[in-house]
Amino acid sequence: MNKKHLLYFNKLLITWYNKIMNKKRENLNNNYFKNINLPDLIDKASQTEEFNLKLINTDRENKLIKKIENTIKKIKDGKFGYCEYCYNKINIKRLKIQPIAKLCIDCKKISENLIN
Ligand SMILES: [Zn+2]
């Protein structure tokens, strides 16, 4: 991968990261987790569900943020674009679709087969 590609992915990842962080900040400002303990019992079930959904979303977001951070670090360390399993280069088309990919497509398929 040449320097131009690295700069491209670095910019892409930082833009993505900032977008998620801005959304998180917005959610905080809009009291994303407000109205949790309303006394109305009828609303309670739906609110618990809503709260759980928000927690799941927050958890997913935090994991994604961590993955983006790690990938930005990999660019700095010169490890970006290499499969973490077989150390071969990951296809650039794959990285354009999934910049945080850790595995090449072959290893990804193998790992999916192992899980299924
Ligand atoms: Zn691989």
Judge whether 83 and 90 are in contact, CB under 8 Å.
Answer: yes
39 lies in which domain range? 3-115
Q: What is the tens place of the pLDDT at every residue in 31-61?
A: 766 655 556 666 677 778 888 888 899 999 9
Domain count, the chain: 1
Q: How far is the CA of 48 from the centre of ligand 1 (A)?
A: 42
Q: What is the tens place of the pLDDT at every residue in 65-106?
A: 999 999 999 999 999 999 999 999 999 999 999 999 999 999
Q: What CATH number is associated with residue 102?
A: 1.20.120.910
Q: How far is the CA of 88 from the centre of ligand 1 (A)?
A: 6
Q: How far is the CA of 112 from the centre of ligand 1 (A)?
A: 13
Residues with Cβ within 8 Å of residue 14, at least 6 apart in sequence: 72
Q: How far is the CA of 36 from the centre of ligand 1 (A)?
A: 45
